[in-house]
């Protein structure tokens, strides 16, 4: 069988869970009903509805399997219409579901409207409650799928994400032939540790590590390094903060590794164990009902990065005090970052702290790509910084490398076209953007830059058409 086909088959179903079901039927059955076991749905059912987002003046209409977006002009005519099929749902709906569209080129695009289970209503997806949001152009990257999906091809999480490779176990089914994460919290933290979801990159993968390369049982630090805002601990509270907030708790810090996720959670059933009394025997603790402790010490709160969901605050406190936010906070954080949980080497820490363009920052990024010669995104960061420093031919060379490394990476082609255009190589810039527009016809910036380049080349007709497409995709693009 051809290798690509084999991979496609292996990824195509709960093959791995089915392998286990024969002997671990009860676990397989209960796990398939948890949020993790339902983390992705192909071709989800959506209820018909309309939704108007005033801030960006856009109308949305859900019909069977599709999301349409339009605006209305002064004469009442529908303009800037886009319609996309809804192919994948991310999230079980325990709290929310974000929809995605699969393009003809095989990309997954995040759709701007999500379903929220507590209000039972559609609202903008997290990060999209803004006047000029990315519309239907933002790609669902592998980093997103790493936490929500079993594999790069969207599928619900299965046993192997916590138990790893099962081949030895399948040929000799017994204890000791497969990884049992009884004591390891890192198996959970691979997905449940996030310091900040927006504004900084909260983690940087180690050189040579691809997104889906983490193996259960290996030290998390061998896979990636974590960073946090230097102003932490702030009263920040986000959707994916179970690990981050638990680590601030006295219960965690002062119990010498005895408190892990599994102390309170059975990952196969999503049942919560009454675990507090195993450590707390004070009069108060004995008097209160074990099931009631979390309500006072781990209350549910509105997440600051997704204001339509309420999550459990895992920072166990005597007297938790907080205010629920009513608006998404889009204030950028520009301060320094510090290592969190893992120890960062000096170069990675310095790179995590690169903000303003400068010769020194460019030198750091150049050193960093030397250590990460297969990391296309790192070349794009360096290339963009070199453009800002007006070192255009150097930028061009780095960005060509990025395009070769990852021809699907639209940001590489867009930046390469800018480096070429600024050097007066307009014909080639236009060719690069034409190629980008066919590999990613949903990206408004590609059409916008193509239009600008074609105008400089006096190809007005084609420039106008490209601009119309940019505006259709992202009304108000400038």
CB 412 to ligand HEC: min, Å: 20
Work out which of 2, 319, 327, 458 binds ligand HEC, going by CB under 6 A.
319
Taking alpha carbons only, the member of 281, 289, 293 closest to residue 249 is: 293
Q: Coil, strand or helix: which one is 159?
A: coil
The kind and range of the H/E element at 203 are strand 203-205
Q: Coil, strand or helix: which one is 157?
A: coil
How many residues make contact with ligand HEC (CB under 6 A)? 99
**What's the rounded Cα separation, in Å, for the pair 165 and 188?**
16
Q: Is 15 in the site for ligand HEC (CB under 6 A)?
A: no
Q: Is 266 in the site for ligand HEC (CB under 6 A)?
A: yes
Nearer Cβ to ligand HEC (217/357): 217
Q: Coil, strand or helix: which one is 459?
A: coil
Task: Yes or no: say if 311 and 300 are a contact pair by the CB < 8 Å rule.
Answer: yes
**What's the rounded Cα separation, in Å, for the pair 36 and 156?**
7
Query: Scanning residues 101 to 140, which ones bind ligand HEC (CB under 6 A)?
Result: 110, 140
Work out which of 43, 172, 258, 468 binds ligand HEC, going by CB under 6 A.
258
Task: Yes or no: say if 97 and 110 are a contact pair by the CB < 8 Å rule.
Answer: no
Nearer Cβ to ligand HEC (39/449): 39
**What's the rounded Cα separation, in Å, for the pair 174 and 104?**
45
- Prior bond to 233 cis, omega within 30? yes
Q: Is 404 in the site for ligand HEC (CB under 6 A)?
A: no
Q: Is 329 in the site for ligand HEC (CB under 6 A)?
A: no
**What's the rounded Cα separation, in Å, for the pair 51 and 310?**
22
Q: Is 409 in the site for ligand HEC (CB under 6 A)?
A: no
Nearer Cβ to ligand HEC (251/467): 251
Measured from each CB, the residue nearest to ligand HEC is 35
Q: Is 317 in the site for ligand HEC (CB under 6 A)?
A: yes
Q: Is 392 in the site for ligand HEC (CB under 6 A)?
A: no
- The secondary structure of residue 180, as a DSSP letter, is -
Q: Is 162 in the site for ligand HEC (CB under 6 A)?
A: yes
Nearer Cβ to ligand HEC (194/406): 194
- Prior bond to 207 cis, omega within 30? no
Nearer Cβ to ligand HEC (252/448): 252
Task: Yes or no: say if 360 and 350 are a contact pair by the CB < 8 Å rule.
Answer: no
In the shown chain, the binding pattern of residues 18 to 57 toward ligand HEC, with x for contact by CB under 6 A and - for none, equals: -xx-xxx--xx--x--xxx--x------------------
**What's the rounded Cα separation, in Å, for the pair 355 and 199?**
12
**What's the rounded Cα separation, in Å, for the pair 10 and 301?**
39
Which is it for the CA torsion 255, 257, 261, 264, positive or negative?
A: negative
Q: Is 362 in the site for ligand HEC (CB under 6 A)?
A: no
**What's the rounded Cα separation, in Å, for the pair 186 and 220?**
6
Q: Is 188 in the site for ligand HEC (CB under 6 A)?
A: yes
Nearer Cβ to ligand HEC (153/280): 280
Work out which of 72, 232, 290, 338 binds ligand HEC, going by CB under 6 A.
290
**What's the rounded Cα separation, in Å, for the pair 420 and 424?**
7
Q: Coil, strand or helix: which one is 158?
A: coil
Work out which of 85, 132, 210, 278 binds ligand HEC, going by CB under 6 A.
278
**Choices 80-88, 173-181, 349-357, 366-374 (CB under 6 A): range interacting with ligand HEC:** 173-181
Q: Is 250 in the site for ligand HEC (CB under 6 A)?
A: yes
Query: Scanning residues 207 to 226, which ones bind ligand HEC (CB under 6 A)?
Result: none
Q: Is 148 in the site for ligand HEC (CB under 6 A)?
A: yes
Q: Is 270 in the site for ligand HEC (CB under 6 A)?
A: yes
**Choices 190-198, 350-358, 410-418, 439-447 (CB under 6 A): range interacting with ligand HEC:** 190-198
């Amino acid at each position: 069988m051809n290798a690509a086909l084999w991979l496609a088959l292996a990824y195509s179903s709960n093959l791995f869970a089915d392998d286990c079901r024969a002997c671990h039927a009860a676990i397989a059955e209960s796990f398939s009903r948890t949020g993790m076991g339902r983390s992705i749905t192909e071709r989800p059912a959506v209820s018909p509805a309309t939704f108007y987002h005033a801030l960006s003046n856009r109308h949305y209409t859900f019909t069977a399997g599709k999301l349409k977006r339009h605006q209305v002009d002064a004469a009442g005519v529908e303009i800037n219409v886009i319609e996309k099929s809804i192919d994948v749902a991310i999230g079980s709906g325990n709290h929310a579901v974000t929809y995605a569209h699969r393009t003809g080129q095989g990309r997954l695009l995040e759709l701007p409207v999500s379903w929220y289970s507590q209000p039972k209503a559609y609202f903008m997806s997290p990060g999209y409650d803004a006047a000029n949001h990315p519309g239907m152009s933002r790609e669902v990257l592998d980093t997103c799928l790493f936490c929500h999906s079993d594999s790069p091809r969207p599928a619900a999480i299965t046993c192997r994400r916590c138990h790893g490779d099962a081949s030895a176990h399948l040929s000799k089914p017994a204890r000791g032939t497969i990884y049992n994460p009884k004591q390891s919290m890192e198996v959970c933290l691979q997905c449940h540790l996030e310091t900040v979801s927006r504004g900084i990159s909260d983690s940087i993968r180690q050189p040579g590590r691809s997104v889906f390369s983490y193996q259960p049982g290996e030290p998390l630090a061998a896979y990636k390094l974590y960073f946090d805002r230097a102003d932490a601990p702030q009263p920040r509270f986000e959707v994916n903060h179970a690990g981050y907030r638990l680590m601030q708790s006295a219960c965690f810090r002062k119990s010498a590794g005895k408190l892990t996720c599994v102390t309170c959670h059975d990952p196969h059933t999503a049942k919560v164990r009454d675990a507090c009394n195993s450590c707390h025997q004070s009069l108060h603790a004995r008097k209160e009902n074990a099931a009631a402790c979390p309500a006072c010490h781990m209350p549910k709160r509105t997440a600051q990065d997704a204001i339509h969901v309420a999550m459990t605050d895992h920072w166990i406190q005597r007297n938790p005090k907080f205010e629920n936010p009513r608006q998404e906070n889009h204030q950028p954080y520009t301060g320094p970052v510090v290592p969190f949980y893992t120890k960062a080497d000096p170069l990675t820490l310095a790179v995590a702290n690169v903000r303003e363009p400068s010769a020194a920052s460019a030198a750091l990024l150049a050193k960093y790509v030397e250590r990460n010669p297969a990391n296309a995104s790192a070349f794009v960061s360096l290339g963009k910084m070199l453009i800002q420093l007006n070192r255009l031919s150097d930028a061009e060379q780095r960005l060509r490398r990025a395009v070769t490394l990852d021809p699907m990476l639209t940001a590489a082609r867009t930046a390469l076209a800018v480096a070429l255009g600024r050097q007066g190589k307009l014909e080639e810039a236009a060719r690069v953007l034409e190629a980008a527009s066919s590999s990613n016809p949903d990206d408004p910036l590609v059409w916008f830059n193509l239009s600008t380049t074609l105008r400089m080349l006096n190809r007005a007709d084609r420039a106008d058409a490209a601009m119309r497409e940019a505006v259709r995709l992202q009304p108000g693009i400038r």
